[in-house]
Structure 1
C-alpha cells in the first residue's frame, strides 16, 4: 500500500523548504495545504506567537467518533545550515550535497505521517481518531510541544517520530535535562600594573571546573559546559565569565543531586576568591520511562511484527517532544525514523527506512 515514489517525492519537496527554528512559516504553509487536501480538520495554534516565531504548530484531525484517539507528531524545524538544501540520491540513500544538513530530522517523520494518511484515504481503511501535530521550535527547547494544548484533544496514546536508528526502534526512556548559564563576576584591574587588585573570573571558574563532575557521570547521567564567554582585552584582568551548562539524567533524583553539588562547588569557590555568582540553570524538560509491557509499547511491537520489521526498545540520551507529552499525561513513545548523523553535513537516510517507517505507522492505525 505504501507508494515509495510518492513518499520520496514528498520527502524531497519538504527538505528543500528552509525551516530553521522560529522560521517555519513556509513549511507550515506547505503542510496546511497538504492536510486540507487530505480532508483533515486543519488548524494552527499560537505556539509561534508565544515563542516569538512566525509559525505555530500545524494540527490536523481525522475524525473517528467513539474510537481511540492517537497522536502522530514530528517537528518542522531543522538545525542550520538549512538555507538551501540540495538533496542527492545515491545507491538508495538520500543525503545533502555536503553544504547543509539534509533535514531528515525531522522531515523523515513528517513524510511517513503524510504517507500513512494517504494510504488511509485511498484504501478507505478503518482507523482510530487521528490527531496529527507538526511542531515548531523543537530543536531549541521543545517550544511547540510545550505550547500545544494536548489536554484538550483527549488523546489515548502518542507516537512521536523523532529518533535516529532503524525503524522498529522504540524509545521508552529519555532523560530530564537542565540548562542555563553560570556567570562568575570577578573584579577588573590592569593586568600589567596591578593584577593583584583584581579578581580574575576565569581563574575562579577554572578552580571550580576542576572540582565538578563533567562528561559521563554514570550510565544514566551526563554533565557538560558547552560554551565559555568572557574577557575584554589581554591587559585587563577578566571581570566576568559566562558558562553555558547542561546536565541530563534518566533519574530525576540524580539530576537534582548533581545540580545541587555543582552549584555548591561554584558558590564555595566564588566565596573563596571573593567573586560573585549568578546562576540561571533550571530543569528545561522532564524525563520519561515506560515499561516494555505497557500497552503503547505492545501496540508498536505488534505493528512491527505485522510489517515483518524487527522491533526493540531502547533509552535515549536526548530529549524530544515525547518528553513533554508524557509529562502532560499522554503515554507516548519516540519512534526511530532512520535518520543518521543528524545535525551534521553528513546527515542521510535510506529510502527503505522511510518505507519501513510508513509501513509501521499503517499497521499501528490498523490495530
Structure 2
C-alpha cells in the first residue's frame, strides 16, 4: 500500500489554501476537479449534481461526483463509493496553513480546515495512485459533498441516480484512520418564538409579559428536569443544547432596560442514538416553553404565547459489525498494519444520510484534530495512513 507521500501532502496543503466555508464551496470544488484531472481522471468522468437547487439555504454548487471505471481483474466487481465533504466551518475563513514537524497548524486566530480538506486530499490521492500504479480495482464513485457542516445538506439531497448502484460506502471525516465508525447519533434542531407584551418597566411592569423571563423559566425547568446537557433517563441517553437566545433579525432580545421584553427567539438541538429519545428530549423542551408561557400572567390576566418548531437534522444509524462494509474496513486497516477500532460517535456525518439512502457507509479518520477550534491541527502521519487505507479499501480482493 505504498503511495507518493510528498504528492499527497502537497495536495493537502494546496486544498487547505482554498477557502470554502459551508455553502461557499465553488472554489474548492473547482480546484478538487482540476486536481483530479491532473491525477489522470478524465474530465468527462467529473460532474456536479443539482443538490444546491434543492437545499433550502443558499449553496453555490452541487455535490461533486466522480465515476472511475474498474480496472484489471477487479473491473467487474461491485462499485464502491468513497465520500468526504468540501466545506469547512466559518471559523476557517482566512486560515494560513503551515507545517511544523509532523503537524499542519494554522496561524492561531482561525481554525485550519483539516475538517475536511484531509478527506478531499485522501480521495484525490486515491485516484492518483490507482492511475499511477495501474492498480486493479472495481468501479469507484467519489463523492465530495457540500454543506456537511451546516446540516449534512449535500448528502441529504444527493442525486442518487447520478451516483448509481454501489455496494457499500467509505466516508473520510475524523481523526484516526484505524477508527471504523459504524454508527452515529440522530438529531433535531428546534426553535421557539416567544411573544410577550411590552410595558413600561418602571411605571407598570405588572402589565407586561416578559418574553425573556418566559425563556428563562422554560430553560430552568428543562434543566431541573434533567433535559439539558447530558441527558440520561433510565436506559436512554442523549444530549441537548441551547445555541441561540436573541431577538428579531439577529438583534438582542428586548430594546431597552425600561421596556418589558415582548419578543425572544431561542434555538437549540437534541441528539441521541435512539430516535425516539431524540423526540422525547425535544418534546421536553417544547413542554417547558408552553408551561412557562402559561405560568407567567400579567396583572390583567394575560399570558404570552410560544411557537415551537422542530426539524429532523439527521437520523441515527448503526451498522452491524459483521456487515460486509465493516468487515472490509477492518481487513483493510489490518492490511496496513493498524489495529481496527469499531465505534459509534455522537456527531452527525454524511454517512448518516448515505446509509439512510440505502448505501451502508462507514467512516474513517484522516488526521483531523481539535476541529472547529483555533487550535485545530492535522496529524501528517495519520493523514498518510488514511491515504494508504483508501488504496487498501479500493483494491481488496
Whole-angstrom distance in 1 between the partners of 2:363 and 2:101: 28
Q: Give the alignment of 1:1-367 within 5 angstroms.
A: 1-37=2-38, 38-40=40-42, 41-51=45-55, 52-64=58-70, 66-150=76-160, 152=162, 153-163=164-174, 165-212=175-222, 213-218=227-232, 220-229=237-246, 230-273=253-296, 274-367=303-396
| CA positional deviation for 1:151 | 5.0
Unaligned runs of 5+ in 2: 247-252, 297-302
Tell me which moved more, 240-249 or 84-93. Answer: 84-93
- Tell whether the 8 Å contact from 1:151 to 1:328 is kept in structure 2 after alignment: no
Unaligned runs of 5+ in 1: none
| CA positional deviation for 1:34 | 2.1
Whole-angstrom distance in 2 between the partners of 1:257 and 1:288: 18
Whole-angstrom distance in 1 between the partners of 2:308 and 2:153: 22
* SS at structure 1 position matched to 2:221: coil
Whole-angstrom distance in 2 between the partners of 1:192 and 1:5: 69
- Tell whether the 8 Å contact from 2:179 to 2:341 is kept in structure 1 after alignment: yes
223 and 83 in structure 1: CA distance in 2 versus 1, 3 angstrom threshold: closer
| CA positional deviation for 1:81 | 3.0
Q: Deviations over 1:46-84 (max 9, x none)?
A: 123333222211111001263211111111111123333
Q: Deviations over 1:199-225 (max 9, x none)?
A: 011111222112211000027300111
Whole-angstrom distance in 1 between the partners of 2:134 and 2:379: 29
* SS at structure 1 position matched to 2:14: helix
Whole-angstrom distance in 2 between the partners of 1:257 and 1:181: 15
| CA positional deviation for 1:5 | 0.7
- Tell whether the 8 Å contact from 1:224 to 1:246 is kept in structure 2 after alignment: yes
| CA positional deviation for 1:18 | 0.5
- Tell whether the 8 Å contact from 1:75 to 1:106 is kept in structure 2 after alignment: yes
Q: Deviations over 1:65-105 (max 9, x none)?
A: 63211111111111123333211111211111113211110
- Tell whether the 8 Å contact from 1:221 to 1:247 is kept in structure 2 after alignment: yes
Whole-angstrom distance in 2 between the partners of 1:113 and 1:293: 26
- Tell whether the 8 Å contact from 1:201 to 1:238 is kept in structure 2 after alignment: yes
- Tell whether the 8 Å contact from 2:36 to 2:128 is kept in structure 1 after alignment: no
TM-score normalised by length of structure 1: 0.96
| CA positional deviation for 1:358 | 0.7
* SS at structure 1 position matched to 2:92: coil
* SS at structure 1 position matched to 2:105: strand
- Tell whether the 8 Å contact from 2:50 to 2:159 is kept in structure 1 after alignment: no
Q: Deviations over 1:139-179 (max 9, x none)?
A: 1111111121225511111111112x321101112111100
* SS at structure 2 position matched to 1:211: helix
